[in-house]
Structure 1
């Protein structure tokens, strides 16, 4: 789940992390009023969409008066903002954040994330924060420092101070930086985050640190522990299909390939995607059928694949367990086929609990399948089936 900037800042402020004063505006009049009440010399008006790169697309504007703040909000509200992170469709701007402008002596990049390759939490920090951070990293104009976090998420104070020195912070700035890093780590762990990014993190002439921009992504699978975060979700900003799938006990992500994938379990689903790519195929989706899904939930997911015109073949790779036998998934596929009246070449690998009965159920539904004995043969058969149709990479 992605929080928008103003939501991220509200959450971080609970942990004592300094953020600029500001408020959300839904109209130009709101923006003008908020700027007037802030009573400062400059203001930032920022479009609230769940994507970065806003500044380069005129989604962040600095102004010097409440009247200019209102005019900037009027220009943004109702507009579709397109950045390099939104794709060509973009996001509609329904609200803007109006906050005090901060005089910056120096800006840093600071983030905590889950390093999936190393299965650990890590701090990434750079001596320069900006929207161009990725471009500068690619061109070696800047560097990123790294700090490993223990399983508790609490940074070692000596390591944090050493990181501050590598960033060439002044001695008077180090205590505030270390304190902020500790607060950030607490927010990360307690909210099941997968990423918290402050870019830029401002350092003022007085040595204070302020999060000028903030991004938080929390694990969707942990949202049952965080009803307060779920209440912040704006489904208008989400992929409606993926949100609907979540409510049907499916973890589903659309991709740009042509082989529809049905799998039960996140690990098995990811392994299936990797194998398709290794066989020079292109998966059309990720699907993890949770153990709590029933046949009607699974039918919904299978219908998404059947109704997707890009899907040329379907690969079913499941291993039945005690809570969800293979026949439940077979029934879901059969129901979807009957409901939609659509068919695709379907390659299956069935193993585990009730695998043979699942084959019988598919026959009863009239679903013709290519039955394969193992994962690799199923994957290569699916890729070959699509290629025989004239579909290539």
Structure 2
């Protein structure tokens, strides 16, 4: 779950990370009311989950109520890279001496948490990595041991932050790590982390991605579902309980398991096609789940063929086959489907599908052959 900046700052604040005073609003009048309450000057910031807000005119400084009213009126409803601004964050303006970058995420290959810190903040970290990779100090944290104060001190020194910012930076980095771990986040990022002329360090921005699978540990995370940015296809899939991400191709993808779904997307690309989606039905391939998946995919007008790629483990081949046959009787499908079925009881599953094969339902023995067939059908 990707949070808006204002949600990320509220998340950080709950772990004691200092952020600018402010509030989220949806109207011009409320923007003025918040600015009057927190005191001028203020910054009016568009809340969209995309970078480049400042360049697009979505972040403006206001010295009085009239300027807040003007900027809020201009920014609300603005389109920023395809995202319409519906929420504003009004916060007190900050004096900035220096800008830093700090983040934590998971390094799967190292099986450790990866922290990145740089004295070159305020710009995209990818740009820093490309132009001056030595400016990024990295640290790998063992989840068992956590981030100690001594490690944080060494890390800040390696990043060559202003020595006067050391104490504040170490405090925030330890709190940021706690927020990342205890908050079940996939990513926490502060860019910029600022050092003020009076010697304070605090988060001027917030980028947070939470693990949606952790909601059972954090009931309050349910509030974030209402503000997730999804297109129509993703909204429909979410309502059906499907793990779906919309893409821009013409080959619909259904697979069981996130790893297989990603591999299926990759193989479609490798044989010259373009996937229309990522759709993981998990361990459930019964008729209801399969029908829901097919409904979501066929509602995408760009889809010209569908690739059902199943490798049975706990899921049995005959259950998958019965689910496909039943689902095709429920859903109006006007594009061809190519099935690759392997794994547990795959032979029985193929036998069930055999009598139903036609120009609308085809079967291939391997993943590559199925990918080549489904891509050819999409192109034709």
What is the TM-score when the length of structure 1 is the normalising length? Answer: 0.87
CA contact (8 A) 1:193 1:219 kept: yes
The 2-side partners of 1:132 and 1:191 are apart by 24
CA contact (8 A) 1:303 1:336 kept: no
After superposition, what is the alpha-carbon deviation per residue over 1:84-140, rounded to whole angstroms, capped at 9, x for unaligned?
A: xxxxxx222222111100101111011112234544321112212224554454444
The correspondence for 2:313, drawn from 304, 309, 321, is 321
After superposition, what is the alpha-carbon deviation per residue over 1:158-195, rounded to whole angstroms, capped at 9, x for unaligned?
A: 33212211332233321211111111111111222111
Deviation at 1:380, TM superposition (A): 3.1
Tell me, yes or no, if structure 1 residue 187 matches structure 2 residue 179. yes
After superposition, what is the alpha-carbon deviation per residue over 1:57-86, rounded to whole angstroms, capped at 9, x for unaligned?
A: 111101111332222112222x13213xxx
The 2-side partners of 1:366 and 1:347 are apart by 10
Deviation at 1:142, TM superposition (A): 8.0
Moved more, 186-195 or 238-247: 238-247
CA contact (8 A) 2:317 2:345 kept: yes
Report the equivalent of 2:61: 62
Q: 1:50 to 1:350 in 2, by over 3 A?
A: same
Report the equivalent of 1:342: 333
After superposition, what is the alpha-carbon deviation per residue over 1:250-294, rounded to whole angstroms, capped at 9, x for unaligned?
A: 211111222222111111112222222333332221111122564
Report the equivalent of 1:18: 18
Report the equivalent of 1:93: 85
Deviation at 1:9, TM superposition (A): 0.6
Q: 1:358 to 1:293 in 2, by over 3 A?
A: closer
The 1-side partners of 2:354 and 2:10 are apart by 55
CA contact (8 A) 2:338 2:364 kept: yes
Unpaired runs of at least 5, structure 1? 84-89
Report the equivalent of 2:29: 29
Report the equivalent of 1:122: 114
Deviation at 1:221, TM superposition (A): 2.8
Q: 1:330 to 1:302 in 2, by over 3 A?
A: farther
Q: Per the alignment, in what secondary structure is the counterpart of residue 173 of structure 2? A: helix
Moved more, 3-12 or 49-58: 49-58
CA contact (8 A) 2:135 2:159 kept: no
Equivalent pairs counted in the alignment come to: 379
The correspondence for 1:175, drawn from 147, 167, 178, is 167
Q: Per the alignment, in what secondary structure is the counterpart of residue 53 of structure 1? A: coil
CA contact (8 A) 1:127 1:142 kept: no
Tell me, yes or no, if structure 1 residue 273 matches structure 2 residue 280. no
The 2-side partners of 1:151 and 1:280 are apart by 41
The 2-side partners of 1:200 and 1:170 are apart by 15
Deviation at 1:153, TM superposition (A): 7.3
The 2-side partners of 1:293 and 1:333 are apart by 8
Report the equivalent of 2:296: 304
CA contact (8 A) 2:101 2:193 kept: yes
Compute the RMSD of aligned alpha carbons.
2.5
After superposition, what is the alpha-carbon deviation per residue over 1:308-340, rounded to whole angstroms, capped at 9, x for unaligned?
A: 332232222112233x32344334433443344
Tell me, yes or no, if structure 1 residue 330 matches structure 2 residue 321. yes
The 1-side partners of 2:181 and 2:113 are apart by 9
Q: 1:207 to 1:293 in 2, by over 3 A?
A: farther
The 2-side partners of 1:246 and 1:181 are apart by 34
CA contact (8 A) 2:237 2:296 kept: no
What is the TM-score when the length of structure 2 is the normalising length? Answer: 0.90
CA contact (8 A) 1:250 1:293 kept: no
Unpaired runs of at least 5, structure 2? none
Report the equivalent of 1:76: 75
